[in-house]
């Protein structure tokens, strides 16, 4: 198990595999919260189309 964690960490560091699971959950929670703010709380729709500097790995597609 330790070897696989080391290998995954090394592959992630050189960009050969994606972001880790915890980071994915944080990003998903952030953008899901934005979505509900727009559609349920009336926040400006532009908040869904502006990339967050907290998550440089996210690309907003138009």
**Domain annotation covers residue 10:** no
Specify burial of residue 48 (Cβ count, 10 A radius: 0-12, 13-18, 19+): middle
**Domain annotation covers residue 60:** no
Position 2 pLDDT exceeds 70: no
The number of domains in the chain is: 1
Least confident among 3-7, 18-22, 36-40, 46-50? 3-7
Alpha-carbon distance of 62 to 53, in angstroms, equals: 18
Q: For residue 32, give its domain range.
A: 24-55
Tokens of 57: 């790995």
pLDDT of 17: 76
Phi/psi zone of residue 58: left (φ > 0), alpha (ψ -120 to 50 degrees), beta?
beta
**Domain annotation covers residue 11:** no
Specify burial of residue 34 (Cβ count, 10 A radius: 0-12, 13-18, 19+): middle
Who wins on pLDDT, 35 or 47?
Answer: 35
**Domain annotation covers residue 16:** no
**Domain annotation covers residue 30:** yes
- Averaged pLDDT of the chain: 85
């Amino acid at each position: 198990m330790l070897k696989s964690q080391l290998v995954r960490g090394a592959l992630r560091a050189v960009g050969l595999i994606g972001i880790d699971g915890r980071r994915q959950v944080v990003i998903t929670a952030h953008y899901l919260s934005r979505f509900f703010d727009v559609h349920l709380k009336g926040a400006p729709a532009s908040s869904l189309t502006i990339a967050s500097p907290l998550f440089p790995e996210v690309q907003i597609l138009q």
